[in-house]
Amino acid sequence: MRLRLTPRDTSFFDLFAASAQHLVTGATLLGELLGADRAGRKVIAKQISDAEHLADEATHSIMRRLNQTFVTPFDRDDIYALASNLDDCMDHMEEAADLIVLYRLDELPARVADQVHVLQRAAELTADAMPRLRSMSDLSDYWVEVNRLENQADKAHRKLLAQMFDEITDPIHLMKLKEVVEKLEDAADAFEKVANTVETIALKES
């Protein structure tokens, strides 16, 4: 660890931890949405939207702090990238939930739940990892596991697309489902970007 001779603003660690907790909330609600009826889905989608607004506020807080701080705990560009990538995770999950409601997709393929389970696990791992940025310790297991999960998500995504093209004859319905599935895949990719950014930060600080 590099020796620092100047004080640094440690509030960033709390802000990142808070941001990651919103991802846990969003992923949990997304799982609940899959099992709800149409009316219930509207209510849960609103809750996810509220969580997304809170996540946006957390991101804005990080950016404001970044602009106000002279000495940061690690590279300014990495702080910006980590905050942006965390925000992307929530954005993609919220968009997927919104599309499910807007398109009135009453029945979803079973493998969509597999995608959401991956997101839930990735969110939990991310929330657990953020507080450890203070010491930069015991983080390698985090990014290794998230990368493994993203590979799992890729496989689930390909299998789901193949199933959809084989079984769905209505082209409009297929297009709607595909858009939801792609947004969930985007969310998995975003979680991997967060993990990759954390790995970059840890390597620089080692």
* Angle, in degrees to the nearest 10, between helices 11-34 and 110-129: 160
Supply the CATH number for residue 65's domain: 1.20.58.220
Q: What is the pLDDT of residue 143?
A: 95
- Averaged pLDDT in 10-residue chunks for the chain of 206 residues: 48 92 97 94 96 94 87 88 96 97 92 95 97 89 96 93 94 96 97 96 86
Burial 61-75 (b: 16+ CB within 10 A, else e): bbbebbeeeeeebbe
Whether residue 4 lies inside any domain: the answer is: no
Whether residue 88 lies inside any domain: the answer is: yes
Q: What is the mean pLDDT of the chain?
A: 92
Whether residue 1 lies inside any domain: the answer is: no
Whether residue 3 lies inside any domain: the answer is: no
Q: What is the pLDDT of residue 8?
A: 57
Q: What is the pLDDT of residue 10?
A: 72
Whether residue 145 lies inside any domain: the answer is: yes
Whether residue 90 lies inside any domain: the answer is: yes
Residue 68's domain comprises: 11-205
Query: For the chain, what is the domain count?
Result: 1
- Specify the DSSP class assigned to residue 70: S
Distance between CA atoms of 58 and 205, rounded to whole angstroms? 24
Sign of CA dihedral 35, 39, 45, 47: negative
What pTM does this model have?
0.92
Q: What is the pLDDT of residue 3?
A: 43
Whether residue 121 lies inside any domain: the answer is: yes
Q: What is the pLDDT of residue 2?
A: 46
Burial 36-46 (b: 16+ CB within 10 A, else e): eeeeebeebbe
Distance between CA atoms of 54 and 124, rounded to whole angstroms? 18
- Kind plus residue range of the DSSP H or E element containing 171: helix 171-205
- Specify the DSSP class assigned to residue 178: H
Distance between CA atoms of 10 and 73, rounded to whole angstroms? 7
Q: What is the pLDDT of residues 73-120, one digit of tens each?
A: 888 899 999 999 999 999 999 999 999 999 999 889 999 999 999 999
